[in-house]
Amino acid sequence: MPKVEETRLEIDLNALAHNYHVLKSNLPANTQIMGVVKAFAYGTDSIVMGKKLVSLGATHLAVAYIEEGMRFRRRGLDIPILIFYPQLEDLPKLLEYNLTPSVYNFHFLENLNAALIEHNVIDFPIHIKINTGMNRLGFDMTDVNRLTQLLSANKHVKVEGVFSHLSAAGMPEENEFTQLQIDNFKVAVEAFKRNVNTSFIAHLCNSSGILSHPEAAFDMVRAGIALYGYGNNPEEQKNLQVVASLKTRIAQLRVIPPGSSVGYDRKFKAEKTSKIATLPLGYADGISRIYGNQKAEVLLHGKKAPIIGNVCMDTLMVDVSEIECKEGDEVLIFGKQHTALAFDKEKQSIPYELITRISQRVTRVVINKE
């Protein structure tokens, strides 16, 4: 249940469209785009974002778990949806809702195949994940020959896609490693073409890959964080527009004398007469305690105000001693004019973490729907 209208996450669909076209312009004309909308579309609104991406031309969507994919099916979206981390206990739902699993090890493949046999399913579409150096999920390069032999004789699954994930595409100093991953992926793709079929979709690039290594676009790319307005380095960031803006209003103002403390554990003690604003959001809304004690700044009337003291569950306090303001004035936590990078001035985390943590009790407001 949303908490209060005064605290809201504004989602700008014009910014999403702008970012989509920036990414598209970096790719060969025939390269498809898979829109990654896992984790409530990076903390925004998965259904709204997914539908908009489809209208913009995305041919596939991707989520982390089967339950996320089911939400889209229930809302009438019949576009192919890739499930990055399908869970064995949810395989019946995977089949029922016609969701496409990422198959990343032999154990999952065996269980999926058993479920398909049980339900008498033929040519069920799957995407095979190859580990080219990320060492997170995926079949190792040494598994490829055995894997392709198994798949070539399997009538229950159809290899619709083969993919991998770049681990450092946004880091120029890691270009040699990125090229190694690209080369490994090419080897795997050729093995599937020889031994399984030639009609699958190959996809490797994530957001940084699209922006930094478009030569590795293959048949499709997976656009994630860049769609939401963030890159992994300044060069990637410069042409993107932030989609989500977290805003609130001053709940209370007070002036405290020197020596007075603010918040739990008295972590802030005023060295001079100070004006303090209390804002109605806290760590239960996704603003972690790591951002307290001058580690982050909000924007008020175009001026930066540091968070002081410990962040509370439902509130946080900022020092507005140098800013003319009143109760009820709007405060930008992060957004277009004050990005998640600017908010997190000590660089304690990454934009992914901050924006995906914004609680579902914060009201979502979609702007520029048309």
Enumerate residues 6+ apart whose C-beta is below 8 A from 30: none
**229-279 pLDDT, tens digit each:** 999 878 888 899 999 999 999 999 999 999 999 999 999 999 999 999 999
How far are the Cα atoms of 11, 55, 248 from residue 369, in angstroms, in the given order?
Answer: 9, 12, 22
Nearest by Cα to 256 from 239, 234, 238, 278: 278
Q: For the structural domain made of 31-237, what CATH number should be given?
A: 3.20.20.10
DSSP class of residue 283 equals G
- CB-CB contact of 330 with 6 (8 Å): no
What's the CA gap between 124 and 162, in Å, rounded? Answer: 15
How far apart CA 276 and CA 309 sit, in angstroms, is 11
- Residue spans per domain, the chain: 31-237, 244-367
Percent of the chain with pLDDT over 70: 98
Q: Is 136 annotated as a binding residue?
A: yes
Reported confidence tier of residue 2, pLDDT bands at 50, 70, 90: very low
Identify the sign of the CA torsion 34, 35, 36, 39: negative
Q: Nearest to residue 72, comparing CAs of 103, 121, 36?
A: 36
339-368 mean pLDDT? 95
Positions annotated as catalytic residues are 38, 264
Dihedral (CA of 128, 31, 51, 21) sign: positive
- The pLDDT, as a whole number, for residue 362 is 96
- 74 contact partners, CB below 8 Å, separation of at least 6: none
What mean pLDDT comes out for the span 305-311?
98
- Whole-angstrom CA distances from 171 to 10, 63, 234, 347, 353 are 30, 25, 11, 17, 19
Question: CA 90: distance to chain centroid?
Answer: 23
CA within 13 Å, CB half, 277: 29
Which CATH architecture does the domain made up of 244-367 adopt? Beta Barrel (2.40)
Q: According to the annotation, is 313 in a ligand binding site?
A: yes
CA dihedral over 43, 45, 47, 49, signed as positive or negative: negative
